[in-house]
Amino acid sequence: MAEKSQILGQVMTDPKNFSQKLTFQLLEMHKERRGGILRAERGTSKKQLVVRQGRLSFAESNAPGDHLARVMVSMNLLPKSALPGIAAAMREKKTSDEAILATSKASIRELEEGAREQALAVLSSLMEWDAGEMRIYSSEQSVRRQFDLALPLPDFIVAAARRAAARRPIPSAFSPLKGSLSPVEENLEALLILPLDRTEAFAFSLVTQSVPVESLLLLLAPEHPKPEDLLLRLLMLGLVRRQESMPAAVAVEPDPSSELEVRLDEMLRRSEPDDLYTTLAVATDAGEQQIKEAYHALAKQYHPDRFQSGDFSEAFRGKAEKLFTRITGAYSTLTDPSSRSAYDRGRLKGGAAGDAPLKGRSAMDLDRENMAEVLFRAGQGFFAKGDFEKAVEKLKECAWLKPEVPKYPFLLGAAQAEIPKMRKEAEQNLLKAIELDRSMTDAHLALGKLYLRVGMTLRAEAQLREALRSNPNNAEAGRLLQEIESGERPSR
């Protein structure tokens, strides 16, 4: 690590603002396009960031895991067997990169790739410190390296905060994540040049005054990144500060119809471009399980059944229904292999409506009736394949969207009847279908077969007779009824 140069400044920090001070010092160097060495020390730990003309040139640390050679080994850029030779070369006064190039087959490109990862590891670890001391040296003349990463500091600072926030357990400087968050006033102009992404900017926009952490977590969608990670990023970047408790005058219960509406509007805005992956907040290469988990997390938050109380306005409920239709449409498309394939092809072509039949599946251009029919057809497909659990997932939503259409609760009940733990729900849905259409032979027959499965012979007989009343030529209902009357065990 570089030795003494002229000390421009010394910053003593306390447990509440180490990462914030670090961020501000680096942004000042970026703004002024100046160079220098920012050294941080805590106990025996020493880490430093070398800046040239306002850009990060490289980073160093005396932590074994941060050594460049070990970082490259972790990235499979170096074999572990190379470490002894590199260590020996460094004892002969070679720098780490000189030692790596001299004793291994690593290229300059691989060296720079490892150095970028090393710099990210060093800066993200500094953001987790709960206390420390920083000194800024004016010169880099004593530093010899084979490369200059020239990384833009604002971008790199945000990348480091994202990595640090994603680690578990939460760094002690920010643990536990509770109390309230409030906006900063000092240094805010410098901090606002940080290139936040959409989710980070939205989280930051919520902290206009002192806000309980619990309320913020409710307002942030439970997707990737996690709400806790977003708040940690803001804290590490110094955009907000934490208070252990809310002032008495502010500690009031949030109004659900106003606070949740902020999040709802943001979700609706995000889903407007008709990108199904964006709607579910999943990567384009997400697997079926990831899509399923994303859908269930969103459904838990935005299912319109949550908002039926008097706390929510009719307009709010309308927004919730609109958003949930989009979420359901995206899920229906992306969990059906053929539909997803068609959608992806259309997406690669530019997403023209005529090129992607999948657009018909997107809830953006469909009303509730059409969306329900899309889901019904998907449910029928899974039912025909014998995949009753997936059929239930699809059919539940179409029955919710259009509860007055008899065929939706009928097929839902028929699918649930094939799953022992869902047979009570199956009975309710089949009865619902019959209530909507008493002449529905198939619903009477399905309910009769369900009753036979659970040993309720008298109820089964009554439903089978109703099925024959609706359609005297129904051979299956006639056969089952005959078996009951003859005392045989009906074959279902």
Residues 275 and 362 in one domain: yes
Distance of CA 469 to the CA centre of its chain: 53
Based on the domain organization, do 131 and 265 belong to the same domain? no
Q: Has residue 434 been placed in a domain?
A: no
pLDDT reported for residue 368: 63
Is 332 part of a structural domain of the chain? yes
Over residues 269-276, mean pLDDT? 67
pLDDT at 200: 84
Q: Do residue 194 and residue 235 come from a single domain?
A: yes
Is the pLDDT at 11 greater than 70, yes or no?
no
Nearest to 266 by CA among 278, 254, 277: 278
- The DSSP symbol for 56 reads E
Q: Are 362 and 274 in contact (CB under 8 A)?
A: yes
pLDDT of residue 74: 93
Residues 36 and 128 in one domain: yes
Per-residue model confidence (pLDDT) at position 248? 42
- Of these ranges, 162-166, 182-186, 291-295, 399-403, the one predicted with the greatest mean pLDDT is 162-166
Q: For the residues of 242-294, what is the DSSP string, one character each?
A: EESS--TTT-----HHHHHHHHHHHHHHHHTT--HHHHHT--TT--HHHHHHH
Average pLDDT for 199-212: 80
Please determine, for residue 99, whether its predicted confidence score (pLDDT) is greater than 60.
Answer: yes
- pLDDT at position 207: 82
Average the pLDDT over each of 163-167, 211-215, 462-466 and give the range with the smallest value.
Answer: 211-215
Residues 234 and 295 in one domain: no
Type of residue numbered 114:
G
- What pLDDT does residue 221 have? 65
> Is 16 inside a domain boundary?
yes
> Does 473 fall in a domain?
no
Place of tokens 């780490």: 96
Please, what is the average pLDDT of the chain?
80
Are residues 17 and 128 located together in one domain of the fold? yes
Q: Which domain holds residue 327?
A: 255-366
Where does the pLDDT of residue 85 fall: very low under 50, low under 70, confident under 90, or very high at 90 and above? very high
Shared-domain flag, residues 207 and 73: no
Location of structure tokens 């002229």: 6
pLDDT for 356-411, tens place per residue? 333 434 433 344 666 677 778 888 888 888 989 988 988 887 887 788 889 999 99
Phi, psi of 403, rounded to the nearest 5 degrees: -65, -15
26 and 143 share one domain: yes
Mean pLDDT of 274-294: 80
Q: Are residues 37 and 89 in the same domain?
A: yes
Same domain, residue pair 96 and 121? yes
Domain end point (choices 206, 233, 254): 254
Flag whether 487 is in a domain.
no
Q: Tell me the per-residue pLDDT of 16-56, one tens digit each, with 9 for 90 and over.
A: 578 888 898 899 999 899 888 999 998 899 999 999 999 99
CATH number, residue 296: 1.10.287.110
Within-domain flag for 378 = no
Statement to judge: residues 226 and 303 lie in one domain: no
Position 479 in a domain? no
Residues 234 and 332 in one domain: no
Measured CA to CA, the distance from residue 452 to residue 62 in angstroms comes to: 73
Q: How many domains does the chain have?
A: 3
In this structure, is residue 466 part of a structural domain?
Answer: no
